[in-house]
Amino acid sequence: MPLTNAQARDLAAVVHPYTPLHKLREVGPLVMGHGKGIYVYDTQGKEYIEGMAGLWCTGLGFGNEELVDAATEQMRKLPYYHLFGGKGMEPAVELAEKLKEIAPCPVDKVLYCSSGSEANDTQIKLAWYYNNARGKPEKKKIISRVKAYHGVTVMSASLTGLPNNHRDFDLPVASVRHTDCPQYYRFATEGESEAEFVARLAANLRSMIETEGPETIAAMIAEPVMGAGGVIIPPEGYFAAIQPILEEHDIMLIDDEVICGFGRTGNWFGATTLGMKPHTVSVAKQMTSAYAPLGALLLPAFITDMLEQQSAKIGTFGHGFTYGGHPLGCAIAVKTLEIYQRMDIVGHVRRIAPLFEKRIKALADHPLVGNVRSVGLVGGAELVADKATKRSFEPAKTVGAIVARYGEAHGVIVRAIGDTIAFCPPMIITEPEIDEMFDRVEKALADGEAHVAREDLR
């Protein structure tokens, strides 16, 4: 197909993140024009169900006029201000008050940034600062997990546990360790029960801590449900098993709620759904329904008190982003949370999750699908070459990406994470829309299976 004008201009001027750049010239970029509800439309006017809420973030979907009005009002009133040097502005205060109310653990104050990566990066700086302040300068290593996703800055990419984010970027940095991924389907040994799997992961974590020396480890970071690593839902009892080990060794638990936060798993926060008891929390994405960039750290009193004390001792708190707590983002977030509350987004997700789960589970009957998983309104279907042995396709065959592209042809946007097809629709999705989304996905899978057979990709 010849490129459209929009595609040609895009190709000539834009670098696309997370894209097989060598292939983009052949397939051409998919340039979006506008959106409404759960639908987006490309510049040719073709309709797609946005089955990934953009990048797991447009909780309220597209074209929400209340958010547009809140943004416009704030832009007219005070389009920019900051929080440096003791300055303040109303939207940042109002949002912080709301976040304190709904947080999944005791929160004293909120520290703003503009993205999930910045939030996690800052969490690590604060963990280091804290341990210096309390006279433990050796206690600096951070434990993350294989297949974790925590962002792409130098530190947050180091925390991310995916080879593609490290290879040739000279990452991870030296102070990061990755412990096991809690994916039973892939990493349980033959005949191992879920409880045994959890116990083994906990024992491995303990032995990592003891080998490294607990006096050298500051924190562990974890997503309640691992998102960009392939929608990995830890088995029952996982956090309950690892938390006492962290407590015992005075290791802080950082909860990365960048995807799970604000209703996605059927509670305000994924920590509640998964039985996680964090000390501190990172949020972004659905906080503004992605209508403007904003991230935040929900901090406990032992951190905020320390910051104040250190300010007296060593000088001004030397951290902050120009756009951290941008009034546009904060005003939109305040309105987003108000709408989530008014429409009872948590109740809505819970009511609708059983149908979402039923439709995902039905995908397991398809010859390409080896494993399915979901919680709330986030899920994944893992494609395999052989269902009986769980053998994966060779990564170079890019079967996941092939199925996702057939999805686009059938009018649904899903994400291929390797060969896992991820689903994370806007949380406003209705039951008929869920059915329509999976009907389109099933057509894509049928085309994918025909393609695999035709090209002999198994």
Residues found near ligand PMP in the complex (CB under 6 A): 55, 115-117, 120, 149-151, 223, 227-228, 256, 258-259, 284
Task: List 415's β-bridge partners, or say none.
Answer: 422
Q: Which residues contact 115 (CB under 8 A, 6 or more apart)?
A: 151, 284, 293, 295
What stretches of 315-426 show up as alpha helix (H) in DSSP?
Answer: 327-342, 345-363, 399-409
Q: How far is the CB of 253 from ligand PMP (least distance, A)?
A: 15
Q: How far is the CB of 215 from ligand PMP (least distance, A)?
A: 28
**Collapsed DSSP state (helix, strand, coil) of residue 458:** coil
CA distance 273 to 259: 13
- Report cis status (omega within 30 of 0) of the bond before 172: yes
Q: Cβ of 167: how many Cβ atoms within 10 Å? A: 9
Q: How far is the CB of 369 from ligand PMP (least distance, A)?
A: 23
Q: How far is the CB of 270 from ligand PMP (least distance, A)?
A: 9
Q: How far is the CB of 117 from ligand PMP (least distance, A)?
A: 3
Nearer to ligand PMP, 198 or 258 (CB): 258
Q: How far is the CB of 390 from ligand PMP (least distance, A)?
A: 25
Instruction: Single out the residue of 37, 39, 57 nearest to residue 260, CA to CA.
Output: 57
Nearer to ligand PMP, 294 or 452 (CB): 294
CA distance 369 to 163: 24
Nearer to ligand PMP, 16 or 46 (CB): 16
Nearer to ligand PMP, 224 or 370 (CB): 224
Instruction: Single out the residue of 324, 374, 302, 268 nearest to residue 117, CA to CA.
Output: 324
- Give how far Cα 427 sits from Cα of 61, 155, 232, 424, 450, Å: 7, 30, 19, 8, 32
Q: What is the CA radius of gyration of the chain?
A: 22
CA distance 129 to 271: 25
Nearer to ligand PMP, 284 or 416 (CB): 284
The number of residues making up the chain comes to 458
Nearer to ligand PMP, 150 or 366 (CB): 150
Nearer to ligand PMP, 143 or 384 (CB): 143
Instruction: Single out the residue of 295, 256, 325, 330 nearest to residue 115, CA to CA.
Output: 295
Backbone angles phi, psi at 189, to 5 degrees: -85, 165
Nearer to ligand PMP, 7 or 288 (CB): 288
Nearer to ligand PMP, 161 or 407 (CB): 161
To the nearest 10°, the Cα dihedral for 48, 52, 54, 55? Answer: -160
CA distance 299 to 308: 13
Q: How far is the CB of 443 from ligand PMP (least distance, A)?
A: 27
N- to C-terminal Cα separation, the chain: 28
Q: How far is the CB of 57 from ligand PMP (least distance, A)?
A: 8
Nearer to ligand PMP, 284 or 441 (CB): 284
CA distance 118 to 231: 22
Q: How far is the CB of 295 from ligand PMP (least distance, A)?
A: 6
Q: How far is the CB of 150 from ligand PMP (least distance, A)?
A: 5
Nearest to ligand PMP by Cβ — which residue?
116
